[in-house]
A = this chain, B = another copy of it.
Amino acid sequence: MSVVGMDGDLLKDGLKRVQAEIDSVFDAFLPVPSDTRARLVEAMRYAAIGGGKRVRPLLLVTTAELFGVDRTSALRAGAAVEAIHCYSLIHDDLPCMDDDDLRHGKATLHHVYDEATAVLAGDALHALAFEILADHGTSSDPFVRSELIATLGTASGMNGMAGGQMMDMVADEEGVTYDLQAITRLQQLKTGALLSCAVEMGAVLGKVPVEGRAHLRAYSRDIGLAFQIADDLLDVEGDAQLAGKALRKDEGQGKQTFVTLMGADQARDQARMLVDQAIGHLSSHGSEADTLRALARFIVERDR
C-alpha cells in the first residue's frame, strides 16, 4: 500500500536523521579528557553513541516541531531523554540486575569494561541528562528548562522508570503474580513513563499550555502500552540477531507479560487497537503529525 510505503520512508528518514544528530550532541557533550577520567567518558560514549533506535528523541523532536520549536533545542532535550534511557539500560544489564551480555548488537558495558565502570558510567549519564537540560543553550527560558527537568526527573525516578523496574524485580524474586491491571501499571511506569515524557517535553519546549496537551498525553499513553506489548511479542517471536539482544527471556523466567496473560493473538490485536487509537488522538493535526502517526505504526511492526 502506498501509504505504508510513504509512512515507512518518512519514518526511516526521520530516524536516520535523528540518529546522526543525537550522536553529534553526545559527541559534543562528551569530549574525552586527557586525565584518568578518560575511561569513564569512553565508557559513556560506548553506551550513548552509535546505538539504539532513538525512538524517544524522535518522539520529542517531532512533537516539538508541531509547535515550531528550534531544532537545536529539541535535539538537546532529546539527548537528555536518551541519556536517561542509556543509563537505565547500562544498570539493567548489570550482573546483579538482568545480567545481559548483548545490547544493540554489541557486548554490554560491564563486559567491555567492568562492573564498577558500568555503574559509574550509568551514574554519569544520569547526571549528564540534567546538566544538558539546565544548560542555557537548551532553552534560553529558565521556566522551560525547569519544567523539562521536573518532567524528566519524575519519569525516571521512583514514580516512573525506577519504580516500574522495582515492581518488575519484586515479581521475579518474590514470585508476586500481577493481573492485567497491575502489569499495565507496571509497564506504564517502567517503559511508558519515559516515552510519554519525551512527548511531554516536546510540548513543554513548544510552551503548549497544560490544557492543550491532553491529546498528546493520550497519544503517548497508547503508544507506550503498544510499545511494551510489542516488546513482549518480540521476546516470544523475534529474531535475536535482528533485535541485537537476548530474547526468550520472559518464558525462561516464568514471567507474567501481556503475552502470557492475553495470548499472542489477543496481545497483537490489542497493540494494533492501541496504535489506531493513538493515531486517532492526532486528528486535530494535519500532515505535520505524519511522523508521529508513522512512529505509532512502527512501534508494533518493528523487529528490534
Contact = CB atoms under 8 A, between A and B. Distances in A.
A229 interface: no
B162 A120 contact: yes
B153 A131 contact: yes
Interface stretch (A67-75, A140-148, A252-260): A140-148
Q: For chain A, which range describes its interface: under 10, 10 to 19, 20 to 34, or 35 or more residues?
A: 35 or more
Contacts of A158: 30, 37, 40-41, 44, 124, 127-128
A91 B163 contact: no
A150 to B, nearest CB: 4
Given A123-B162, A127-B156, A131-B157, 17 more contacts: A35-B167, A40-B158, A41-B158, A87-B123, A96-B115, A96-B119, A120-B166, A124-B163, A127-B153, A127-B158, A127-B162, A128-B158, A130-B130, A134-B149, A134-B150, A142-B142, A142-B143
Interface of A: 30, 33, 35-37, 39-41, 44, 87-88, 91, 94, 96-97, 114-117, 119-120, 122-124, 126-128, 130-131, 133-135, 142-143, 145-147, 149-150, 152-154, 156-158, 160, 162-163, 165-167, 169-171, 176, 182, 185, 189
